[in-house]
Amino acid sequence: MNVLVIHGPNLHMLGRRKPEIYGKGTLPELNAEIRERAAASGLKVRIFQSNCEGRIVDAITAASGWADALIINPAAYTHYSYAIRDAVEALDVPAVEVHLSDISKREPFRRVSVIRPVCRARFKGEGWRSYFKALDFCAALEKE
């Protein structure tokens, strides 16, 4: 199973940006762990990070025909990007929304996710484990 993993804006700053909320690990460290766990579960992953909405839309579109599932932390775009929402819907593979923090317990604007309705599952508030649970979810899909 091929899984596209997308990290949205400012996630390249992991480790330096609000470590009390997002943790001390860096994005390369997180990606290494994702790659290792994916390989152990028999998943092939491609990982993409961008701070630009259009590039994220393009990456989702380009994965059509390759990706069997999508794991996406849209970061701030979660809360207002209908363009990313539509791209996820158009990709038409099971999508999983991921957040390091618990967006339901933070500022009111973070409680809204326009991406949620086009995702099969959501894992939030568990730091890196949110991504690992999303990988497990994808691995379980393969067995369906």
Contact footprint for ligand DQA (CB under 6 A): 10, 73, 75-76, 78, 99-101, 103, 110
The rounded Cα 140 to chain-centroid distance in angstroms is 17
Strands 95-99 and 69-73: parallel
Residue 3 or 22: which CB sits closer to ligand DQA?
22
Residue 73 or 81: which CB sits closer to ligand DQA?
73
Across-strand partners of 124?
Answer: 99
**Percent of residues in the chain assigned helix, strand, coil, to nearest 5:** 50, 20, 35
What minimum distance in Å lies between the beta carbon of 126 and ligand DQA? Answer: 10
Residue 114 tokens read as 């326009």
Can you tell me the distance from the alpha carbon of 123 to that of 73, in angstroms, rounded to the nearest whole number?
Answer: 10
Which listed residue (7, 77, 99, 131) is catalytic? 99
Reported as type and span, the H/E element at residue 61 is: helix 53-62
99 part of the active site: yes
What minimum distance in Å lies between the beta carbon of 100 and ligand DQA? Answer: 4
Residue 12 or 44: which CB sits closer to ligand DQA?
12
Residue 49 or 78: which CB sits closer to ligand DQA?
78
Instruction: Tell me which DSSP letter residue 2 carries.
Output: E
80 part of the active site: no
What minimum distance in Å lies between the beta carbon of 93 and ligand DQA? Answer: 21
What minimum distance in Å lies between the beta carbon of 33 and ligand DQA? Answer: 15
| Catalytically annotated residues | 22, 99
